[in-house]
Amino acid sequence: MASLLSPQWTRLLSYVRPYSFRLVVGVVLVAFTALADGIVALMLRPGFDYVLNPSVIGSTLPLVTFPNGYTIYLNRFFPPSIHHVWTMFALTVVFLYVGKGIAEYLGVTQIQYVGQAAVTRLRNQVYSKIIRQPIGFFQSNPTGRLLSTTINDVERTRIALSEYLVDLFQKGFTLLVFLVIGHPGAAGRRAGEQTGKKNSPFF
């Protein structure tokens, strides 16, 4: 935590601040991809207990039951003309994966754009400061060494602000979603457990 609050880190984030809107959009889209992964994980048990179980007859497809007893049904998100559990399950999976792919692409692109733009501002400021140094500075510091050091340092910053920033939000949201799903007594309880249905032998 101390390293996150260090002056160096705060100064580095100041280059990201002008692109806060793009960063927020990217974070929201990346959060949606993590949520989609969590919903796919929640759909495993209904898939075995309702969709692949020939003894279950009906058009209701429960997804998850919250601790307060409220149950989310997938069939509520479809018009009455779509009532077969196979169709609802298949359409939901297709929508999740298509939406996840689009959101992941756009979210990662936005966050990487913010990182690249911040690094561009940093590089311009570094070069501007170097060329304004007195002649004596260049006599004691060869130009080749200055350029090499500047390029390498800025490249490390680019990796931190673009690639690491994407991994931070992407992996962080995914971990948070699966921790919530896997927590005992949390939203991960399935409706089949509450209604007394026989659970799938796979779970």
Residue 57 included in any domain: yes
Please indicate, yes or no, if residue 35 is contained in any of the structural domains: yes
Residue-wise burial string across 55-92, b where 16 or more C-beta atoms lie within 10 A, e elsewhere: ebeeebbbbbbeeeeebbbbbeebeeeeeebeebbeeb
Please give the pLDDT value at position 82. Answer: 79
Identify whether 2 is part of a domain: no
Tell me, yes or no, whether 61 lies in a domain.
Answer: yes
Q: What are 73's strand-pairing partners?
A: 62
- Assess if residue 202 is contained within a domain: no
Residue span of the structural domain in which 105 resides: 17-194
Amino acid symbol at 10: T
Split into its structural domains, the chain has a count of: 1
- Of the listed ranges 34-43, 64-73, 85-94, 103-112, the least confidently predicted one is 64-73
pLDDT value, residue 188: 40
- Report the CATH number at residue 143: 1.20.1560.10
Please report which confidence band the pLDDT of residue 32 belongs to, taking 50, 70 and 90 as the band edges: very high
Per the DSSP assignment, residues forming a β-bridge with 64 are 72
Q: Per-residue pLDDT for 155 more than 80? A: no
- Residue 190 has what pLDDT? 44
Q: Is residue 130 domain-resident? A: yes
pLDDT at position 183, please?
A: 65
Residue 9 falls inside a structural domain: no
Q: Residues 74, 61: contact at Cβ < 8 Å?
A: yes
Q: Which of 89-93, 136-140, 188-192 reaches the highest mean pLDDT?
A: 89-93
The stretch 40-67 carries a mean pLDDT of: 78
pLDDT of residue 105: 94
Q: What is the mean pLDDT of residues 27-43?
A: 89
Residue 200 in any domain: the answer is: no
pTM of this structure: 0.71
What tokens does 58 get?
Answer: 């009906």
3-7, 120-124, 143-147: the lowest-pLDDT one: 3-7
